[in-house]
Structure 1
Amino acid sequence: MSAPRGTGREIGPAGDRLTRAADPGFVWPVVAAGPQTGPGALPVGSPGKVGVLDLDFRLDPRDPAGRTVLADRFQKSPLQVMRPLYLDPAVPAMPVVFVMSTGGGIVGGDRLDMDIRFAEGAHALVTTQAANRVHRMDVGYATQDVALRLGVGAVCEWLPDPLIPYGGSRFQQRLRAEVPESATLIAADILTAGRVARGEHWDVDACVSTVEIERPGGVPLVVDTTRITPDEAGHPLVTGDADAIGTLFVVAPGPA
């Protein structure tokens, strides 16, 4: 089951960036079902609650080897990136960028929004500093939206570390990617059962992860949603008895 298409924000820029980041668009009812206000809870839009990350990867026109560089970026706490590193000797022109958080994980009321663009021929790997922890939420819910836009012949490797939704958390994340026929996307969506060592095993109030991949113009290639609630956790078609579940999406030109 997938979120209604067209009910979220468009991939392209629209309106004030921070205002757009604070509004996730469509939110699954199971995610938004809990109380929205309570003692001591910071409201959405408070300092440190709306994280924004805009990255623009391009080929360096001055580099004869065709190195990809992070040509432009905008970041707002709690999201930030460290400087690109060129770590892979097999692909020396590819930068590796680590997305970092200034906080200790995702909490109720957080709205995280990333817009990552890959110009024609650019190739970059974007990952995270560590697994992303989603804390228990007595009040509110949290969302994360990631938009990947690939140019002609671009290669995007979106390989974040696993998500760890703690017991009692309510979280929704959405990955949207626009991939031309000549471009390549490698994207991972990995969820874990929570703090297993403490006895948690898919004890979330609600966790929904959606991946939408389309061609320019809106032709869909992939619409995949994983929804975990107390009623669905443990079902053989959802999590079974696994401690982690995940999917690797690969979209490439020509035959696989």
Structure 2
Amino acid sequence: MTAFETSLDAPLPNDSGHRFDDGRHWAASLELGFEIREGVTRMTRSRHRGPLRVQRPFHPEERPAEGRPGACHVYLLHPPGGLVSGDALSIGARVGAKAHALLTTPAANRLYKADSHGVAWHQHTRLHVAAEGVLEWLPQETLAFDGSCGEQVTEIALEGDARCLGWEVMALGRPASALPFASGRIEQRFRLTRDGRPLWLERQPLDPAHPRFLGRWGQGGATVQATLWAVGLADEHEAVEALRETLGVSICWAVTTRQGVLLLRYLGQERNEAWDLCRRAWEILRPRLIGLPAHTPRIWLT
């Protein structure tokens, strides 16, 4: 039994409490599982605690007559719409052998200013994909307000020839309201492994007080950043050339491959530009990764 499977069967945290001192802690958990049933990916597990759950699964790509099961589309719902001091969100998803799941969100996530005690929030996402499985992790963007303090951790564990494509888009402050991200601290951590072997490990602190935040060698004053990854491409170099040719040359983004992981980065000032870049890159990469055209989740159009 894997550590992930063990965590699925462990009791969900129940130590949430309505406190307003430096010990405040409001937890929410969601555990999902996907398996092949009669040739179609079904959501076979949905266990939640607190304000974190899913709508019913959708199968918009299913074409039985063509023998194409398509992906199971699931929308992750967090009714509060954002994280405040003391929030602790735990999201886990396991995609079984040969199953295919696409996970997204109905709206942007918001990271609010820390309270007077400076209590941090935490978000921990654990994604596990079994051999021959496919996972698309496509949340809408995250908006970090000035003074937000917290930690965002994403762990992806792949088995065998499992494939994964995902992104994270982060916008700092509210420039349109003349409210820049001038205080606070957010730390992002990524860990991607295949059969326990690390392929991509990254730690990124976002701290306006650090020289890196404004330095040309670091954030450079950019208010929007995005990272897209794809693992399992048959021809990584062809995919990189297709991205460069189709998306055009820009000083705001770059793409490379390392250890079988394709990484596309955006660093700029426009949230819509970053989102559009990731969406278009997904449309280019998805057929190369799984042999199916991009199918826009209906929730993105509402």
For the aligned pair, the TM-score class normalised by the smaller chain equals 0.7 to 0.9
Of the three residues 153, 156, 171, the one matched with 1:174 is 153
Of the three residues 215, 218, 235, the one matched with 1:235 is 215
Of the three residues 54, 58, 82, the one matched with 1:85 is 58
Q: Which residue of 1 aligns with 2:168?
A: 189
Q: Is 1:154 aligned to residue 133 of structure 2?
A: yes
Q: In structure 2, the residue corresponding to 1:18 is in which secondary structure?
A: coil
Deviation at 1:88, TM superposition (A): 4.0
Could you say what the CA RMSD is over the residues aligned between the two structures, in angstroms?
A: 2.4
Q: What is the identity, as a one-letter code, of the residue corresponding to 2:223? A: D
Q: Is 1:18 aligned to residue 6 of structure 2?
A: no
**Is the Cα–Cα contact under 8 Å of residues 165 and 230 in structure 2 kept in the other structure?**
yes
Distance 1:83 1:238, change over 3 A: farther
| Alpha-carbon separation, structure 2, partners of 1:241 and 1:75 | 39
**Is the Cα–Cα contact under 8 Å of residues 35 and 97 in structure 2 kept in the other structure?**
yes
Aligned pairs (5 A) from 1:84-233: 84-88=57-61, 93-138=70-115, 139=117, 140-216=119-195, 218-230=196-208, 231=210, 232-233=212-213
TM-score computed with the length of structure 1 as normaliser:
0.79
Aligned pairs (5 A) from 1:21-36: none
Larger radius of gyration: 2
Q: What is the identity, as a one-letter code, of the residue corresponding to 1:18? A: L
Show CA shifts across 1:79-102 (max 9, x none).
111111223478763111111112
TM-score computed with the length of structure 2 as normaliser:
0.68
| Alpha-carbon separation, structure 2, partners of 1:195 and 1:179 | 36
Deviation at 1:56, TM superposition (A): 0.3
| Alpha-carbon separation, structure 2, partners of 1:12 and 1:89 | 28
| Alpha-carbon separation, structure 2, partners of 1:121 and 1:44 | 42
Q: In structure 2, the residue corresponding to 1:222 is in which secondary structure?
A: strand
**Is the Cα–Cα contact under 8 Å of residues 57 and 72 in structure 1 kept in the other structure?**
yes
Of the three residues 45, 68, 73, the one matched with 1:72 is 45
| Alpha-carbon separation, structure 1, partners of 2:87 and 2:22 | 9
Pairs aligned (count):
223
Deviation at 1:190, TM superposition (A): 1.5
Aligned-residue identity in percent: 25
| Alpha-carbon separation, structure 2, partners of 1:171 and 1:237 | 24
Runs (5+) with no aligned partner, structure 1: 1-9, 24-38
**Is the Cα–Cα contact under 8 Å of residues 166 and 203 in structure 1 kept in the other structure?**
no
Distance 1:238 1:17, change over 3 A: farther
| Alpha-carbon separation, structure 1, partners of 2:217 and 2:100 | 35
Deviation at 1:247, TM superposition (A): 0.8
